[in-house]
Amino acid sequence: MLSEIEPEILKQTRFAKVQAIYQFLLLDNKNEVLMQFHDRSDEDLGDRNLFFKDINKIVNSLDDIEDTLMEILDNGKWRWENTGCIVKSLLICGSFDLSNCENKKQVVDHYISIARIFGEEESIAFLHSNLENVKIFLNS
């Protein structure tokens, strides 16, 4: 259960998931991406079991996640194709976690913090707005 994982471990797992989904979006090869992450340390992956379980689920449901994001992306004011790969990865992982986690505020906070690590300062408001839109969509 996610509530049993320490917040910093969970944040590290989310960071690793963003890295993996970013690579998947570039390579479009799940097995190659999983192999690249297989030998990484637990320190890099956070919770190893959660990381691999979630990556498989995200990749297997990627079309559905992207379809949902395309519908709600800044309430239809922004096009998915115009979104950079890092921001897409943050939105995909954030949306997945929002749909599978009770502590939605923590999810949004973690992904905003991760965006800052990636240097996406100019995208913070966009990410925050759209992760909030995902929360509203999931509650409707």
pLDDT in tens, 49-83: 999 999 999 999 999 999 888 888 866 667 788 88
**Residue 110: CB atoms within 10 Å:** 24
Say how far apart CA 86 and CA 18 lie, in whole Å.
8
In this prediction the pTM is 0.92
pLDDT at residue 119, rounded to an integer: 86
**Residue 98: CB atoms within 10 Å:** 20
Helix (H, G, I), strand (E, B) or coil at 103: coil
Does domain 2-139 fall into CATH 1.10.940.10?
Answer: yes
CB 115 within 8 A of CB 127: yes
Confidence category of residue 17, pLDDT binned at 50, 70, 90: very high
Length of the chain measured in residues: 140
DSSP secondary structure code for residue 120 in this structure? -
Parse the chain into domains and list their residue ranges: 2-139
pLDDT in tens, 84-103: 899 999 999 999 999 998 89
